[in-house]
Amino acid sequence: MARTYDNSARAQAAQRTRAGIVATAQELLLDGGYAAMTVASLAAAAGVSPQTVYNSVGGKAAVVKAVYDQMMAGDDAEDAMSGRPEFRALFEVADRPAFAHAYAGWVRLLSGRVGPLLGALLAYGTDATLADLVATIEQERYVGTTHAITGLRDRIGLPDQHAGEQGLTRLIDAVWTLNSPDCYDRLVRRRGWSPEEYEAWLAGQLVALLG
């Protein structure tokens, strides 16, 4: 009988290597910003070769995206945000105002996780690679906002003014604008609001918007 090859140990080692690279990249990005981190400097700090960085994660843009994804999720699991229990719990509410407050708390949590990273990145928005990365992140956030609003529509319903395809799209656009990490950065980091004050402000805006 032919023996089967168990490569689980190799896969676990590869995952540990990748996790170490991403964790080191997060430290470098938060400490020195986007421009200061190169694949070479990351490899040196992580104690691996540049080729290992490319093989495990990818180039600089892929590394930054991996850091962003992990900070956003709060872990390195590959579960989609819309499939996580914390997101599904948003819809276990009685009405739209309750959803607005729950969603504001969710946005505050995510913005608090990734806000420091985005602050380190936004200063280099003219970098072409970074601009593409930011565009990808923005599109992902729009998809997440769409899941939230369509979930609200399907479970609780929306005001009449947001009925129809155009009304729904305009509502998603508005919520996507309100939940921007840039709003969080402006109010919390630049203007000194507490995260609690930001959450209360966002909840109020959403209550007014959702009716």
pLDDT at 3: 59
In DSSP notation, 62-118 reads HHHHHHHHHHHHTSS----GGGSHHHHGGGSSSSHHHHHHHHHHHHHHHHHHHHHHH
Q: Which amino acid is at 180?
A: S
Q: Angle CA(153)–CA(176)–CA(201) in degrees, nearest 5?
A: 95
pLDDT at 52: 97
Q: What is the pTM of this model?
A: 0.81
pLDDT digits (tens, 9 = 90+) for 44-56: 999 999 999 999 9
Domains of the chain and any CATH numbers:
8-59 (1.10.10), 79-210 (no CATH)
Ranges of residues in the chain whose predicted pLDDT is under 70: 1-6, 76-77, 79, 82, 122-126
Of 114, 118, 119, nearest in space to 81 by CA = 114
Tokens of 60: 């600089």
